[in-house]
């Protein structure tokens, strides 16, 4: 008998029928003898409806009151799911974030969980009651309603699992697990049985949007085994766990990619100490996040070229800032390119194996893909390439690193 926290997203509870279906899944788990805590999101579409309503009054809405409005979405779902479970003959009880004292800071609309009081929940679980808790919300120390920001229900589930020392936190979504890469690009992409927290973080931040990054960080920090499964199909999903629990570690776990890149280059900057800061300081001041960075000496030996990537949404803004910088520094020219994508190999196995990078570069070169930029971390190698090579690049790498075959 274990204690399981399950989380169902907006699509999984998007209609009365789907809520009935979730009730059956929850009860099936209870019937196996497990204690169950369920975290739910607002019904799909509901949060958008509430956002529009608030913005029709004032845009942006005042943050405290915006949270009061947004929190109702999940409150409706917890009531509906509890009614559905009870109607099928099982004890259930709903709780808002405030009712189980999910204490957060007071950063409305993007609050962080500080503490959870597990007393009430433990008493209910001891009686065999299924708990249904509103995701995405909490209260600050003065009892004001706060929300964790979009996708915060995943974080709520992990935080509850950590507070209750649950055996597993199961995140039900519309995909049946984490894949070696996006199956829409490489049909031979394979569902991973297990992946480490760190790898998942790299996969998520690079565009495999299965889980909220914050919830994975949280799960890693508190070592909560996290499982991603489908609400609609049966299956074991993918278990995200600490590296120690993954017996046979593949070299590479997956290939992530991002289409949302833009590349900016400032050419012919006089090469003096502090140049990098003089360029990136104003970019950062404009709240633009920089991803990959490279700096080369120009052929004249007196000036340098400086290239970096930003999110494509920030391209125009970054370009404006950079043009001003270029004038101030007496640089020769500014160039930019929106036709850039990033492809990344992710795997904890690369820590102990040399030659991954060279194999990656050779594989891409063999099919004529020119690498524009490279950046590496302990468990990741990323390259920027022309966007027309995205699909080809992902597929040849997927094949070269044997990702379509189960781990030996």
Stretch that binds a second copy, among 15-23, 157-165, 221-229, 386-394 (CB under 8 A): 15-23
- Counting contacts by CB under 8 A, is residue 65 touching a second copy? yes
Least distance in Å: CB of 137 to a second copy?
Answer: 12
User: Side-chain half-sphere of 59: how many Cα atoms within 13 Å?
Assistant: 6
- Counting contacts by CB under 8 A, is residue 141 touching a second copy? no
- CA–chain centroid gap for 14, Å, is 21
Least distance in Å: CB of 34 to a second copy?
Answer: 22
- Counting contacts by CB under 8 A, is residue 82 touching a second copy? yes
- Counting contacts by CB under 8 A, is residue 50 touching a second copy? yes
- Counting contacts by CB under 8 A, is residue 237 touching a second copy? no
CB 407 within 8 A of CB 248: yes
Give how many residues touch a second copy by CB under 8 A.
36
Give the integer Cα–Cα distance in Å for 289 and 164: 36
- Counting contacts by CB under 8 A, is residue 84 touching a second copy? yes
How many other CB atoms sit within 10 Å of the CB of residue 117? 13
Least distance in Å: CB of 37 to a second copy?
Answer: 16
Among 71, 204, 216, 356, binds a second copy (CB under 8 A): 71
Among 11, 29, 34, 86, binds a second copy (CB under 8 A): 86
* 290 three-state secondary structure: strand
**Of residues 10 and 98, the one with the C-beta less far from a second copy:** 98
Q: For helices 63-87 and 46-57, what crossing angle results, to 10°?
A: 150
Ranges within 289-308 binding a second copy (CB under 8 A): none
Q: State the distance between the two ends of the chain, measured CA to CA, in whole angstroms.
A: 32
Among 3, 83, 267, 334, binds a second copy (CB under 8 A): 83
The DSSP secondary structure of 240-285, one letter per residue, reads EE-GGG-SS--S--EEEEEEEEEEEEEEEEE--TTHHHHHHHHHHH
Least distance in Å: CB of 43 to a second copy?
Answer: 9
User: How big is the chain, counted in residues?
Assistant: 408
Instruction: Show the CA angle centred on residue 260, arms to residues 258 and 264, nearest 5°.
Output: 115
The DSSP secondary structure of 91-136, one letter per residue, reads -EEEE-TTTTTEEE-S-TTS--EEEE--HHHHHHHHTTPEEEEESS
The 87-106 site mask, x for binding a second copy (CB under 8 A), equals x-----xx-x-xx-------
- Counting contacts by CB under 8 A, is residue 407 touching a second copy? no
Least distance in Å: CB of 405 to a second copy?
Answer: 45
Q: Could you list the residues that contact a second copy (CB under 8 A)?
A: 16, 19-20, 50, 53-54, 56-58, 61-62, 64-69, 71-72, 75-76, 78-80, 82-84, 86-87, 93-94, 96, 98-99, 143, 145
């Amino acid at each position: 008998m274990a204690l399981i926290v399950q989380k169902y997203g907006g699509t999984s509870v998007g209609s009365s029928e789907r809520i009935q279906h979730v009730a059956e899944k929850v009860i099936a788990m209870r019937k196996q003898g497990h204690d169950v805590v369920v975290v739910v999101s607002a019904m799909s579409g509901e949060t958008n409806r509430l956002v529009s309503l608030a913005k029709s009054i004032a845009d942006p809405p005042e943050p405290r009151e915006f949270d009061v409005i947004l929190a109702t979405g999940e409150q409706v779902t917890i009531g509906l799911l509890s009614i559905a479970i009870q109607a099928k003959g099982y004890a259930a009880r709903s709780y808002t974030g405030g009712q189980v004292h999910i204490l957060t800071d007071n950063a409305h609309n993007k609050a962080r969980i500080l503490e959870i009081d597990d007393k009430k929940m433990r008493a209910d679980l001891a009686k065999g009651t299924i708990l249904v808790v509103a995701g995405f919300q909490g209260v600050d120390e003065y009892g004001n309603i706060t929300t964790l920001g979009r996708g915060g229900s995943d974080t709520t589930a992990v935080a509850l699992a950590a507070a209750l020392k649950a055996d597993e936190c199961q995140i039900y979504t519309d995909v049946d697990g984490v894949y070696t890469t996006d199956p829409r690009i490489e049909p031979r992409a394979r569902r991973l049985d297990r992946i480490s927290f760190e790898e998942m973080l790299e996969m998520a931040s690079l565009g495999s949007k299965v889980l909220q990054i914050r919830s994975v960080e949280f799960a890693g920090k508190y070592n909560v085994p996290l499982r991603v499964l489908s609400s609609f199909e049966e299956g074991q999903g993918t278990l995200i766990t600490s590296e120690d629990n993954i017996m046979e570690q593949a070299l590479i776990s997956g290939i992530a990619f991002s289409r949302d890149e833009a590349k900016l280059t400032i050419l012919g900057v006089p090469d003096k100490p502090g140049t990098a800061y003089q360029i990136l300081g104003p970019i950062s001041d404009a709240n633009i996040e920089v991803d990959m960075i490279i700096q080369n000496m120009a052929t004249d030996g007196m000036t340098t070229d400086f290239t970096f990537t930003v999110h494509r949404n920030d391209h125009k803004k970054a370009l404006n800032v950079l043009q001003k910088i270029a004038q101030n520094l007496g640089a020769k020219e500014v160039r930019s390119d929106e036709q850039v994508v990033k492809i990344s190999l992710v795997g904890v196995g690369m820590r102990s194996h040399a030659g991954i990078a060279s194999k990656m570069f050779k594989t891409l070169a063999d099919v004529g893909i020119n690498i524009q930029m490279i950046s590496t971390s302990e468990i990741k190698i990323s390259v920027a390439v022309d966007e027309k090579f995205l699909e080809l690049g992902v597929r040849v790498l997927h094949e070269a690193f044997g990702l379509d075959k189960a781990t030996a």
